[in-house]
Structure 1
Amino acid sequence: MNETLQIVIFFVIAIAVVGSAAVLLLKGRRTPPGAYPTIRDADDRGGLDVHGATSVDLVDGEVATTPGVVVPDDLSGLDEAVTELPTTERPEPVQGRLARLRARLVRSNTALGKGLLALLSRDKIDEDVWDEVEETLLLADLGTEPTTELVDALRARVKVSGSRSPEEVKAMLREELIKLVDPTMDRSLATERHLDRPAIVLVVGVNGVGKTTTVGKLARVLVAEDKDVLLGAADTFRAAAAEQLATWGQRVGVPTVKSDIDGADPASVAFEAVKAGIDQEVDVVMIDTAGRLQNKVGLMDELGKVKRVIEKQGTVDEVLLVLDATTGQNGLSQAKVFSEVVNVTGIVLTKLDGTAKGGIVVAIQRSLGVPVKLVGLGEGADDLAPFEAESFVDALLN
């Protein structure tokens, strides 16, 4: 009996030792914190919780994930990342704000129009006058080629008509300026929902041009058009950017997808924002990106990666490049590089109320071959409006 008991005790001890060793071995092989399985198809989440999936990387066509992005469960935006304000603002209709913004443009850009009209209404229009006209246009950032075209066209028309009356000169100048601004360009925003997914808008630009503010203001424009909108805070390098964007969204009841990890992979936030937009069946997903210098190759490559990752789920419908109108011709070099990396489809000109250099509209469109679609004319929440060629020229010449 004692021998039997000893044998039983021996086996119990042996099983306990083997079990402990197995536990230790499994602990040694446990997946370290932050390591998650690779998802080969971005549309198949493989059962991962969207609240825990964030850093997205493209390696041989694969999408890898790590935790950190907070995704609102629905369009109320009520979670730890976004808390809706007690009262939600109703943005004013887009058409209602255009007259006010045009009036502001009139006040800020009269130097160009008045200067040209004064020159062209002189009793004698000689070579010196045409030189002054050309100089005025160049100082207004119209660009060399458009300036030459405009001066040549006006020379011919003034010579043929022989007119010196301010009304007739103004009419000719208006017609030629409208031709340069080109009202035939398609300035509509691609923000209509597709059958199976939202429209996707990517907003890019250099540091300090007002991208986050522009995204917030554009969200107001879309809400005023009764669209359901979701924002993605892919500017993960500027500490306050995500909170700033979320605040803009809160004011009009729009949720924001953002990372709770400083310096997180921006492509991951963009990926999750689009994923959430598809799941929640919103109309438009807008992605805010970090400002980057156009001469920084690494940063520009990263921007290209953001776009590629987004397109694992759907084509980016609109890429808006935000430019500061006060930078003038310097903005052209910025625009060209961004266009090469992410195929810019439209320009947003901010701070147009702070400069008399309205000619930059023509120069940018000529340089890129894409239209100015939106203009910012102030710091107010609704100081963003669709660009209209004729209204713009009329404001210059008022």
Structure 2
Amino acid sequence: MPRPQRREQFDSGEVGIVHVVQRCVRRAFLAGVDHATGKDFSFRKEWIRRRMEALASVFAVDVLSYAIMSNHMHQILRNRPDVCAQWSDEEVAIRWLRVFPGRRLEEHLAEPTENDVQMLVRNKERLAEVRSRLSDISWFMRALAEPIARMANKQDECTGRFWEGRFKAQRIVDEAGLLACSMYVDLNPVRAAMSTTPETSPHTSAYDRIEARKGEQIPSAAFDLKPIPTEEAGCEIRETPVEILQEKRKAKRRNPTGKRIRRDGWLSPLTLSKTTLSAEPEVHTQGVRSSDRGFLHIRWSDYKRLLDWTAAQSVAGQVAELPNRLAHTLSEVGIDASMWRDLVWDWQKYFGKSSCVGRPESMKADAERNGHRHHRGQARASACFG
């Protein structure tokens, strides 16, 4: 079966959830300890996390879960064209110009001004294209991957690829697949024997949520969504030395808004509200993420218990009994509780080569929607779902 086209996996005009995997070139440890040279590049994981956090503040894309490893990263993303449709033309323009300011002679001129925003607003055809791109997962990944590659190449004084190529995408079609995939992503460092528990697995969404509930706050990486007055920008450029302007720009890039947020404040909330109507976009208004919509019908406390239990089942054949409450939670979404450990720990066996994740009947329906009879891995995955 040929690899599905991107438009079959996600559409910028339709809400969808996708598991994304992006690998470093030759699977080298370019964000970890390089086995060949012994150099430790683990600090680049924070580069990636902060860039992801910044993009979550401007794109109509919710970051549901993520894990940044030494030679690859996982993300579960949900594009939100319904949220993007609620933004004014000025909001769309400033969001786009913050990420893609266009050509500038000097770095300090990259700050979008009120005039830049109004020029884009008046170009209705271009604005419509930009609005579509702000809810496009491909553009989100492009804005994430390219700057990291440039920064790493500059640091290493080299040229060439940092990432292996285009990201791999798996469409998630139901809550059973989403719960299993989210757990798989959060436990990636445990599966790789880099840590033993979610509490000791930094640069994962689980770690961020755990630390946030302890009260931890971090400097926000969110973009400042206020354009600079045109006259003020011109005056500053004329009267301030280039070196000082560049230092100001670097300082602002470290904390653009000057705010501190909960460690998980930029991530999508985990629990879906019971009172939420499906048609409500739940637009976020604090400038750190696109929406306030959760993604699972499960409380954080139950998710954390299931996460801890699954992390402890590292050895096949020595699986402890799953507590009744957690078994009931799994059965409610259609997952065979007796197969849960295998589903998460042997994820590659069931979904490694599939372009779609979910219960067999959901996968079949998605395949038929795109003119296919079935998805690869559909039959094998049926063993894990009730």
TM (norm. structure 2) is 0.22
